[in-house]
Each structure stands twice: as C-alpha cells, then as structure tokens.
Amino acid sequence: MYPLILLVIGCLLNTIKADNHLNNMTFPDTFMFGCATAAYQIEGGWNANGKGESIWDRFTHQVPSPIKNNDTGDVACDSYHKYKEDVALLVDLGVTHYRFSISWSRILPTGLINEINLDGVDYYRALIHELKENNIEPFVTLFHYDTPQGIEDLGGWRNSFIETWFSDYARLCFELFGDDVKYWMTFNEAKQTCVLGYGTGVYAPGVKSPGVAEYMCIHNVLKAHAAAWHVYNDEFRATQKGQVGIVIDSSWFQPENESLQADIDASETLLQFTFGIFATPLYMGDYPDIVKENVERRSLAQGYLRSRLPEFTEEEKIKLKGTVDLLGVNTYTSSMVRPLDVPDPEGKGLNSDCEVYQYQPDDWEKTDDVWMRVTPWGSGELVKWIARTYGNPPMIITENGRSDTGTLDDDARITFLMEYISSIKNAMDDNNLDIRGYTVWSLLDNFEWLFGYSSKFGLYQVDFDSPDRTRTPKKSVEYYKKLIRTRCIVDSCVN
C-alpha cells in the first residue's frame, strides 16, 4: 500500500515537473492539427498503371545503391493501394487536415502536359474524395522532390523552361482537384532539391555543381512557384477560393555568443542564406542583399565575370513579389553559429558562400538522425524571426517531428511533440503570431530518403517485412488524439 502511494505521488510530481514549463493555454477552435506525408515516401506503385519514372525511382534503382540497405520506394507503405486505410487512421486521430503530395509523373508520365495518365488522376481523386467524405481538409503539395525523369532528361531544375512545365502541371492539378482542395503548396523544401540534388549531389538527381547548378535550381524554382501562383490567381481563385503557398525549411541558428555582434550577424546571414533566399524574393521581390553581396564578391574573386547567383529581371521581380498566401514552415532543429575564422576562398554554394560556421553542441539531445538534435526552443525562435522579417505573414507549421528506432512505446516522441508545440504556442501567444496550424511529420513510418526505412518518423509503425504493410499505432497516437480533441498540450488547460 505504502509504496503504491509513494509511486502515485512520484508519478504526479513527475508529470507536474515535466509539464509545468509547458504552455497550458487552449488552442483556438480554428487552429488546424494534421499529419504530413509525401508521395515517394509512402505510395509505392512506382510504375503502376502508367506512372512515369521519377528521379527518385532512377536514383534508388542504381547499382550500387546510394540508399541505406539498398531500400527503394518501389512499394514503400503501399499507400497507392492502402489510401483508405491511411484515411481511416487520420479519422481516428481526429485531424483537421492531411498534408500529402502529388507525384507529378503519376499524372504526367513524362512531366509534359500532352499525355495525361488517367489512372493517376483517379488515384488522387479517390484519395481526396475519401478525405472530404470524412471532413478532413486535403492539404496538397505539388512537388516533394520527385521530378519526372523525362523533365530531368531535359535538364530538370537547371532548365528555365521548367517554369512553364511546372505551371502547366499546376494548372492541371487546380483544374482536376481544385473544387475540393483549398490549400496548395507548390514546393516542399526546395533547398533540399537544389542544395542536395544539384549542389552536393547526395540526393536525386545526383548532380554535383555547388554554387552553380545549385543557384540555377533555386532561381527556376522561385520563378516556377510564382508562375503557378499567378495561374491560380488569374484562372482559379475567384471560383475555387483557395490559397497557394510554399513550404520552406530552416534550422534555427543561435548566435554562439548573444552579446557579440559578429555572432548575431552570422545568425542573420545564415537565416538569409537558408530561409531568406526563398522567402525574400517571394515577399519582397528579390534575393536578400547579404546573399547577393556574398555570392558576387566570392564569384569575382574566384575568376567568374559575374555572380554565380542569377539576377531577376525587373519584370520577374514584380511577378515574384506577393505570391505567398500562406507560408508553410518545416522546423526540426537548431545549430550554434559564429563567423568562419577563415572562409574557404574556393568554396561554392549556400554552405560556403554564407561564410558562417555552424555546429550542434554535444549536450543537445540526439535523435537517431545525424542531422537532428532536439531543440524545441529553436522552433519558437525561428517562427518569431520569420514574423519579424516578413511582417507577420499567415503561417502554418507544415512539418515537425522526430525519428526513433521504431518502438511502439515512443515516449520520446510524445515529449518532443509537447515541447515543440509548446514552444510554438508560446511564440504565438507572446508575439501575436499568425500561425494557423501544425502538422506532424509523419503519419506513417516511411521511406526516409538516404536512410531508407531505418529512420522512423511515424505516429504509426509500418511493418515493411509484411506484404500487407500492417500499420500499428504507437503510444504517441493517443497523445496526439487527445491534444487535437482537447486543444491542450498538457493534461488540462486554463482557458
């Protein structure tokens, strides 16, 4: 009896201790809570019923494979066949919205508009229908890394014609699905497409051209985004009444010494090189000054006749400015920053041109992903910086989450969600930020790019050894369900 009472008191104290620093204010009824996935990471059916090859199909089929354990997305979570089951999980969670992406080459096998794959259209129609039937808002990303191989064969994001090819694809999606879809995101984390895909070359299509193709890609992505936004604005907005935005990711960059101006500047510079290089053209019409200055100075010193960073024409600047109705923010982690002692004079690309040194201190809690340590406070700092820099724009957290080894008892994920959501809520409450929702990455364990199926971000476990790809809820499902139902992070809220 005695030990039991002590245990109960102990547990209570523990909960209080764990919770007392967490935000205990109720989220407004309008606040959206959802889950995210991406086509290549969950669908499978890589060549099913007329789907064209994408750069990730090509990349993962290489021998030797660049992916851990030679994993591929050929079958993935088999959501191409099991989407109804996925929607049932979302219904059980009680989410307001489901963020998923459309595979461009499932709808347009070569990427170009002349040939439409009706089976692909039917798949997304059926998924959207299933969501709407269950009162879940479809939240659609048009591009999540998987360029059609046919487009890559023409240069992919290095070819400026992609602006037209992408906006043709976007128009088709608005036409086909826009009566039911009110939230559109053009790109997911274009930084990964351009820096990892065309700079360091560790992601598909594997092009190693740091600071040259890398910036051509960024330039073309931005123009393609603006073109798609204008298509929507001119041809669909009046009837469909939706919103078009873009998803940008960034770590938070914490000045190593907050009282050193040089470290504060290093933080601002790296934020501009990471987030601003995408957001500033879309909110203000051009690249951030610090990005233009650094890249030009370094390019000239490297023997180029002009900046490696392309310039926008005056007409393009006008077309870019004001093309984000809702800003998607992916936030995972943070680093410490200070200026590089000795910048590498030959280095090219975002990572060198910024001339900032970043690191993650050893005492920050690790996850199972090499790039990610747990820094909930950083997410609050990041959204405050975005609000300060861009005039408090409407935002939604489009991704946040952590990986683990895949255990069903994922207490670490529950703590992670509580702390990150609390940090974001504190930032909202204290600064009147216009954050409209939060989306967990991810609904399911899935194909985590270079890490294959070894890195597990899901609220639901997926058995990749079973042909059924059986889904099993982890403990965090119960937590997220309750949070959505009560709109409260802790056991009870004050208002």
Name the residue number minimizing CB distance to ligand PNW.
Answer: 371
Output 41 or 243, the one with its CB closest to ligand PNW. Answer: 41
* 375 lies in the site for ligand PNW, by CB under 6 A: no
Stretch that binds ligand PNW, among 27-35, 102-110, 326-334, 404-412 (CB under 6 A): 326-334
Q: Binding pattern to ligand PNW, positions 251-270, x when CB under 6 A?
A: x-------------------
Q: Which residues contact 70 (CB under 8 A, 6 or more apart)?
A: 64, 452
Q: Looking at residue 122, what DSSP letter applies? A: H
| Out of 399, 404, 410, 419, the residue judged to bind ligand PNW by CB under 6 A | 399
* 188 lies in the site for ligand PNW, by CB under 6 A: yes
- Report d(CA 322, CA 318) in Å as an integer: 8
Binding residues among 277-316 for ligand PNW as defined by CB under 6 A:
none
* 38 lies in the site for ligand PNW, by CB under 6 A: yes
| Out of 330, 367, 439, 476, the residue judged to bind ligand PNW by CB under 6 A | 330
* 240 lies in the site for ligand PNW, by CB under 6 A: no
Q: Is 448 a catalytic residue?
A: no
* Burial label, 317 (beta-carbon count in 10 A; 0-12, 13-18, 19+): middle
Residue 145 CB, shortest distance to ligand PNW, in Å, is 7
Residue 448 CB, shortest distance to ligand PNW, in Å, is 5
Closest CA to 228 of 140, 97, 287: 140
- Report d(CA 437, CA 104) in Å as an integer: 26
The dihedral formed by the CA atoms of 127, 128, 133 and 137, expressed in degrees to the nearest 10: 130
Output 163 or 399, the one with its CB closest to ligand PNW. Answer: 399
Residue 285 CB, shortest distance to ligand PNW, in Å, is 26
- Report d(CA 60, CA 65) in Å as an integer: 6
Tokens of 174: 């608005």
Choosing from 130, 214, 316, 399, the catalytic residue is 399
Closest CA to 244 of 143, 385, 156: 143
Residue 330 CB, shortest distance to ligand PNW, in Å, is 6
Output 51 or 99, the one with its CB closest to ligand PNW. Answer: 99
Q: Is 399 a catalytic residue?
A: yes
Closest CA to 483 of 473, 475, 492: 492
Output 160 or 200, the one with its CB closest to ligand PNW. Answer: 200
Output 105 or 110, the one with its CB closest to ligand PNW. Answer: 105
* 193 lies in the site for ligand PNW, by CB under 6 A: no
What residue type is assigned to position 202 of the chain? Answer: V
SS3 of 252, please? Answer: strand
Stretch that binds ligand PNW, among 147-155, 210-218, 329-337, 383-391 (CB under 6 A): 329-337
* 448 lies in the site for ligand PNW, by CB under 6 A: yes
- Report d(CA 331, CA 416) in Å as an integer: 12
Contact footprint for ligand PNW (CB under 6 A): 38, 41, 188-189, 192, 249, 251, 330, 332-333, 371, 399, 441, 448, 457
Residues forming the active site: 189, 399
